[in-house]
A and B are shown apart, each in its own frame.
Chain A
Amino acid sequence: MFKAISNIFRVRDLRRKIIFTLLMLIVFRIGAFIPVPGTNSDALEMLFGGANAFGFLDTFGGGALSNFSIFAMGIMPYITASIVVQLLQLDVVPKFAEWAKQGEAGRKKLTQVTRYGTIVLGFVQAIAMSVGFNSMYQGAGPGLIENPSVMTYVYIAIVLTAGTAFLMWLGEQITAHGVGNGISLIIFAGIAAGIPNMLNALYTSEIEGAGDQLFLSIATVALLALIVLLIIIGVIYVHQALRKIPVQYAKRVVNRSQVGGQSTHLPIKVNASGVIPVIFASALFYFPSTIASFVGPEDKAWARWIVEHFVPSSWIGGSLFVVLIIAFTYFYTFVQVNPEKMADNLKRQGGYIPGIRPGQATQSFITKILYRLTFVGALFLATIATIPVVFIALLDLPQQVQIGGTGLLIIVGVALDTMKQIEGQLIKRSYKGFIN
């Protein structure tokens, strides 16, 4: 392990890439502390730390939203734009579907559409966020925006959109000149930046405020550490888990030489949809309570009911959240892995699954396997997403303590992906890596 780490820094090119990546992430972290001019970020403090949409979004930015910094929106508009463009490729917009089939040239066009979409979504989101947050404080002391006017809102929106555009560019630079996927690493850095804060909150509530029950508090923290370790092991296990479907290729004679005839396998991941279903489900789940918060739960009974019940800690909210995660896992898995396209590709390449006829029968077989695997993946995602809520309630922990959940899924996933890339670079230079 330590030898592999020393090998990384022995390779000049790899060392340069890692240093570049770290420097770019430092730039991102600096930006998270530069406040948007003309705003009063102290007004936001009471909103964060709770199990709501704001706390969820703040997790991704590493406190950038609670500081109302220039990176307050983080890379979220890019994620949204990416998902929207990906969904529009499913014959919703014929042009997008056509580009998706064009290979590299089409991919470039789709990337450009995603980038433009990010800016448009970012600008709209920035205005909505500024107006929404400010309206929550009318008559409750100083608001978020010091001099609210149309011009001020547009000014703030332009600054926030520029922040998102810069982050998008930063991510692209990391992908091009650093290690790993830039956008993912920015999200990773945002989540990881919240860990010291979480540990501090845990220390303050459990150790400092323990009094006579110090032993019990230490036992609670130890139990918590064990749970986190088990979650990490579980996430790694499921992230790497594959179902290998055997595939046989028919022998063909091409230019007087025999090709094909070899047997291989079709790898299908247990969790083929990654963490997107949790992000989707969270966005949809927290939407009513966010709107209700903006409307004002103090005055209206329906808004109060929504704010109280649309939280994962309530029975209604928790059940709905799990159902949404499972539904989105199925939906997004079939977006990512298309059984029809798989069966068609196999047929065209002269491949078949032993005992299954090519074409429709193969498609049905892959679909059946995908349904079973997705059920396991969906349960896994739902469990991981609800673990923090259960343990915060059971152990009576402060809201800042987030064990498991979306954050841990992303952290472990990005770490594994980046490690695999570094591994590839090391093996290419005939060094032993982490895995082999």
Chain B
Amino acid sequence: MQLFLMIALIIVSVLLVAVVLLQPGRSSGLSGAITGGAEQLLGKQKARGLEAVLHRATIVLAVLFFILTGLNAYFL
């Protein structure tokens, strides 16, 4: 059980990193509070097609990541 949870968490973690990187970065970096520069406002468009699939996948993987980490911490 312990080994299964460990492997599952590693797989979910790697997938989470991959899915996050596959999505185009929407962030405008660090705002003026941190870097002092002026912040640019981005178009807040809704995700479409593959982007929407990746977006949903990130949510599912994030939930699994939280649950598996909690279970791993409990069993380990």
Contact = CB atoms under 8 A, between A and B. Distances in A.
Contacts of A323: none
A176 B62 contact: no
Contacts of B69: 34, 36-37, 70, 159
A34 B29 contact: no
Q: What range describes how many residues of A lie at the interface?
A: 35 or more
A183 B36 contact: no
Nearest to B37: A336
Contacts of B37: 272, 274, 336
Contacts of A279: 34
A181 B17 contact: no
A112 B9 CA distance: 26
Contacts of B29: 82, 111, 114, 183
Given A159-B69, A181-B39, A166 B33 contact: no
Contact of B36 (A70, A166, A276): A276
Contacts, number: 148
B58 A162 contact: no
Given A37-B9, A38-B76, A181-B28, A417 B33 contact: yes
Contact of B65 (A162, A173, A276): A162
Contacts of A332: 36
Most chain A C-beta atoms within 10 Å of own C-beta, residue among B13, B20, B25: B25
What is the predominant secondary structure among interface residues of chain B facing chain A?
A: helix
A37 B6 contact: yes
A175 B27 contact: yes
A29 interface: no
Q: Is the interface of A mostly helix, strand, loop or mixed?
A: helix
Contacts of A63: none
B34 A175 contact: no
A278 B35 CA distance: 11
A333 B37 CA distance: 10
A219 to B, nearest CB: 33
A30 B76 CA distance: 20
A112 B34 contact: no
Nearest to B72: A37
Interface residues of B, number: 38
A42 interface: no
Contacts of B9: 37, 159
Interface in B60-76: 62, 65-66, 69-70, 72-73, 76
Given A38-B76, A175-B42, A111 B25 contact: yes
A79 B27 CA distance: 12
Given A34-B66, A410-B34, A414-B33, A166 B10 contact: no
A165 B25 contact: no
B6 A116 contact: no
B47 to A, nearest CB: 9
B70 A165 contact: no
A177 B34 contact: no
A42 to B, nearest CB: 13
A409 to B, nearest CB: 8
A171 B32 CA distance: 15
A180 interface: yes
B11 to A, nearest CB: 10
Interface of B: 6, 9-10, 12-14, 16-17, 20-21, 23-37, 39, 41-42, 44, 58, 62, 65-66, 69-70, 72-73, 76
25 contacts: A34-B69, A37-B69, A38-B72, A79-B30, A82-B30, A108-B25, A112-B24, A112-B25, A115-B25, A119-B21, A158-B13, A162-B12, A162-B13, A162-B17, A169-B23, A175-B28, A181-B30, A183-B34, A184-B33, A187-B34, A269-B36, A275-B34, A276-B35, A276-B36, A410-B34
Given A35-B73, A181-B30, A275-B34, 20 more contacts: A31-B66, A37-B6, A37-B9, A37-B69, A159-B13, A162-B65, A166-B20, A168-B20, A169-B20, A172-B27, A175-B28, A176-B26, A176-B44, A272-B36, A272-B37, A273-B35, A276-B34, A276-B35, A412-B33, A417-B39
List 7 A-B pairs, minimum CB-CB distance, nearest first. A413-B33, A274-B36, A37-B72, A181-B31, A162-B13, A111-B25, A414-B33
